[in-house]
Amino acid sequence: MIEITGKTKLTGLLGQPVAHSISPAMHNKSFELNHLDYVYLAFDVAPDQLSHAVSFLKETGCVGYNLTMPHKRAIIPYLDELTPAARLAGAVNTVLLRDDGTLLGHTTDGIGFWRSQNEIGYNHIGQTVTLLGTGGAATAIMVQGALDGVKKINVFKRKNSTFEEAQKMIETIRSNTDCELQLLDLANLRLLRECIEESSILINATNVGMEPDIENSIIHDSSLFSSHLLVSDIIYHPRNTKFLQLAQSQGCMTSNGLYMLLYQGAASFKMWTGKEMPTETIKELYFQ
């Protein structure tokens, strides 16, 4: 059991629901291994209680906290400053209470994704990327990639009622970075094939193929996968999605989203403590 003292520093997670989260286990073990007098708790916060929760945590001197659904965008009006990544993504998953009493919002989701790819030997700097989806995770991935120095990102989504909104978001990222971005219609298989062929990595950042819909895939034609590709799916339930299976059938190296979760947490941990999360130990304990 964690020993709580009069000097224990509070961190945590705000969301609804949060009971399923692995974050308390990974952070509290990391605090223990770093000999830090911190604790990480999960707070089930309804949308209409978010402002009260933010005020309370600030008044109690909470070092910082994570946000999960449905609060990643709703938190922004309560913060004093955003990092460039959070501002461009329009979402926050990590808050830091600074020494001057102000709240800084950041997003570590994109950091977590790209570090998970770097760990298996892929260097995204200067590369051309094809990304499927424009939701919260996809946006974090494209923003961080653009800030890091990805050369070009081909973004595909269904041409539905949110297509124009996604186009504006991509134009904003493009005008604030040196990355070339374009939004394309997922139904255009000719363009999809061309963009995949020029890319070194193909990323599914949609929820297509997630449990319980495990027999579905955002791409159905296995011939679209070239063996030179790294193919990544941010889904980790199941760990080997239909999308990844199709890629494997064409000789592609593949990865899932499990370690994205680990490394986004590691980035939050460092933001709060200044210390590195012992990720190899945490992998062994919670990510097998």
**Which CATH number goes with the domain that contains 54?**
3.40.50.10860
Overall number of domains in the chain: 2
Which residues are tagged catalytic?
72
pTM of the model: 0.95
- Is 188 a domain residue? yes
Binding-site residues for shikimate = 21-23, 68, 93, 109, 236, 264
User: Residue 202 maps to which CATH number?
Assistant: 3.40.50.720
Q: Are residues 251 and 122 in the same domain?
A: yes
- Is 1 a domain residue? no
Q: Are residues 160 and 208 in the same domain?
A: yes
Binding-site residues = 21-23, 68, 93, 109, 234, 236, 257, 264
Q: Are residues 40 and 82 in the same domain?
A: yes
Reading the chain (288 residues) residue by residue, the pLDDT tens digits are 678 899 999 999 999 999 999 999 999 999 999 999 999 999 999 999 999 999 999 999 999 999 999 999 999 999 999 999 999 999 999 999 999 999 999 999 999 999 999 999 999 999 999 999 999 999 999 999 999 999 999 999 999 999 999 999 999 999 999 999 999 999 999 999 999 999 999 999 999 999 888 999 999 999 999 999 999 999 999 999 999 999 999 999 999 999 999 999 999 999 999 999 999 999 999 998
- Is 68 a domain residue? yes
- Is 3 a domain residue? no
Q: What is the pLDDT of residue 2?
A: 74
Identify whether 212 is preceded by a cis peptide bond (ω within 30 of 0).
yes
Q: Are residues 214 and 171 in the same domain?
A: yes
- How many degrees, rounded to 5, is the angle at CA 256 between CA 153 and CA 174? 15
- The residue range of the domain holding 248 is 110-256
Q: What is the pLDDT of residue 1?
A: 66
Q: Are residues 116 and 99 in the same domain?
A: no
CB 124 within 8 A of CB 117: yes
Q: What is the pLDDT of residue 288?
A: 85
Q: Tokens in use for 1?
A: 């059991």
Q: Are residues 132 and 250 in the same domain?
A: yes
Q: Are residues 234 and 114 in the same domain?
A: yes
- Is 197 a domain residue? yes
Helix (H, G, I), strand (E, B) or coil at 52: helix
Q: Are residues 249 and 276 in the same domain?
A: no
Q: What is the pLDDT of residue 260?
A: 96
Q: Are residues 238 and 282 in the same domain?
A: no
Q: Are residues 281 and 166 in the same domain?
A: no
Helix (H, G, I), strand (E, B) or coil at 261: helix
- Is 166 a domain residue? yes
Q: Are residues 146 and 250 in the same domain?
A: yes
Q: Are residues 149 and 251 in the same domain?
A: yes
Identify whether 278 is preceded by a cis peptide bond (ω within 30 of 0).
no
- Is 4 a domain residue? no
Binding-site residues for NADP(+) = 234, 257
Q: What is the pLDDT of residue 68?
A: 94
